[in-house]
């Protein structure tokens, strides 16, 4: 059966639906970064989005369209933290209850902030339990709607508003990016962005950025089929540990992504320190993967204009302090 995939028009509709509820986050550039990269680097600051990450966009776009009478049990989602907060916040705004299935090793900050938006949290073991199976069982038990973290038509369209804004803002700055890069887990953000970017500028290349050992999307783009990671834990990029690309996201990616950049943990740490020291920004490990790709040269910026999404800033204080002092 042919998959129903979101288009640029769905991204536009999501933008209308979100209106002023989401933050039109800044697109900035920094002379120190430009000098180091040897080109022009534009940074889209989703660290300043509601809940501290881009995830609110897709969550609200999906939840706001639900018929509440059909789902008296509210919504259920599974997430390592940022989608959890996005769903919890969006559900609260839409007058629905939320239950989130989160890994036991999720950052304490992300669990506590999810609860602060009124959501109930159930934990699971990444290594031994299937979060989707747990979430779907809870949906059946509660008569609730399942809001996946990435492989969902309306979630992808909502995340695409990042790319829509980015290209509009770049144009206002007199820039046309030759490449756009964003962190990637299951692919909801990068494929949504690609729909918007490719409509505005078909020649602009779109890349995903992933941590070493969890580069399933990059490998899938190279092989032409959905690859799986061999492990579920072991990276400080807790937001980027999806085991395999989504079915919808990979179909979009095959047509719209140029490839991926795989970064080491030390390159991510270095990018976080750079963001703190030079940009005065707090970026979580997963949110810094794209910047790490640029700073390391794995996505060369020399003589080019590159746009990079800093996708989130929800990092535990203890880990952040350790990285900054490193």
CA–CA separation, 43 vs 96, rounded Å? 34
Q: Where are the domains of the chain?
A: 8-54+152-325, 56-146
Same fold, 8-54+152-325 and 56-146: yes
Instruction: Give residue-wise pLDDT tens across range 63-72.
Output: 999 999 999 9
| Cα→Cα distances 69→73, 90, 260, Å | 9, 17, 42
Sheet of 205-211, strands arranged across:
27-28, 40-45, 305-310, 179-183, 205-211, 259-263
Cβ(170)–Cβ(177) below 8 Å: yes
pLDDT tens digits along 34-58: 999 999 999 999 999 999 999 999 9
37: Cβ–Cβ under 8 A, 6 or more apart, which residues? Answer: 294, 295, 301, 302, 306
Q: What distance in Å separates the CA atoms of residue 198 and residue 84, rounded to the nearest whole number? A: 29
Tokens of 204: 């602009």
Phi and psi angles of residue 208, each rounded to the nearest 5 degrees, phi first: -95, 150
The Cβ of residue 202 has, within 10 Å, a number of other Cβ atoms equal to 8
Q: Can you give the pTM of this predicted structure?
A: 0.96
CATH class entry, domain 8-54+152-325: alpha beta
Residue 161 has pLDDT above 80, yes or no: yes
Average per-residue pLDDT for the chain: 96
The token pair that represents 219 in the structure block? 């490998």
Pick from 292, 230, 239: which is nearest to 264 by CA? 292
> What are the DSSP calls for 269-280, one per residue?
HHHHHHIIIII-
Task: Region of 105 please: left (phi>0), alpha (psi -120 to 50) or beta.
Answer: alpha
State whether residue 65 is helix, strand or coil.
coil
What are the CA-CA distances from residue 285 to residues 107, 211, 252, 263, 292 (Å)? 12, 9, 25, 11, 10
77 has pLDDT over 90: yes
**pLDDT over 80 at 226, yes or no:** yes
Which of the four CATH numbers 3.20.20.10, 3.40.47.10, 3.40.50.1100, 3.40.50.10540 does domain 56-146 have?
3.40.50.1100
């Amino acid at each position: 059966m042919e998959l129903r995939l979101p288009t640029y028009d769905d991204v536009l509709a999501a933008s209308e639906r979100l209106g002023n509820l989401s933050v039109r986050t800044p697109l900035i550039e920094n002379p120190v970064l430009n000098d180091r990269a040897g080109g022009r680097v534009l940074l889209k600051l989703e660290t300043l989005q509601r809940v501290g990450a881009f995830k609110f966009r897709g969550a609200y776009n999906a939840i706001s369209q639900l018929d509440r009478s059909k789902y008296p049990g509210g919504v259920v989602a599974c997430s390592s933290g940022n989608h959890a907060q996005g769903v919890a916040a969006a559900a609260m705004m839409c007058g629905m209850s939320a239950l989130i299935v989160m890994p036991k090793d999720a950052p304490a900050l992300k669990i506590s902030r999810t609860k602060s938006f009124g959501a109930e949290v159930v934990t699971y073991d990444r290594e031994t339990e299937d979060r989707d199976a747990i979430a779907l069982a809870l949906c059946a038990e509660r008569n609730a709607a399942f809001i996946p973290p990435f492989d969902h038509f309306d979630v992808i369209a909502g995340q695409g508003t990042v790319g829509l804004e980015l290209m509009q803002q770049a144009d206002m700055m007199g820039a046309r990016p030759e490449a756009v890069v964003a962190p990637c887990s299951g692919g909801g953000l990068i494929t949504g962005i690609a729909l918007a970017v490719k409509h505005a500028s078909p020649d602009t290349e779109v890349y995903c950025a992933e941590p070493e050992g969890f580069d399933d999307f990059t490998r899938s783009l190279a092989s032409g089929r959905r690859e799986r990671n061999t492990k579920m834990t072991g990276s400080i990029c807790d937001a980027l540990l999806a085991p395999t690309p989504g079915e919808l996201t990979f179909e979009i990616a095959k047509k719209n992504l140029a490839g991926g950049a795989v970064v080491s943990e030390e390159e991510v740490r270095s990018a976080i320190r750079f963001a703190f020291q030079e940009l005065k920004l707090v970026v979580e490990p997963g949110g810094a993967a794209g910047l790490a790709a640029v700073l390391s040269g794995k996505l060369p910026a020399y003589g080019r204009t590159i746009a990079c999404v800093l996708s989130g800033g929800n990092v535990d204080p203890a880990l952040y302090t350790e990285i900054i002092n490193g």
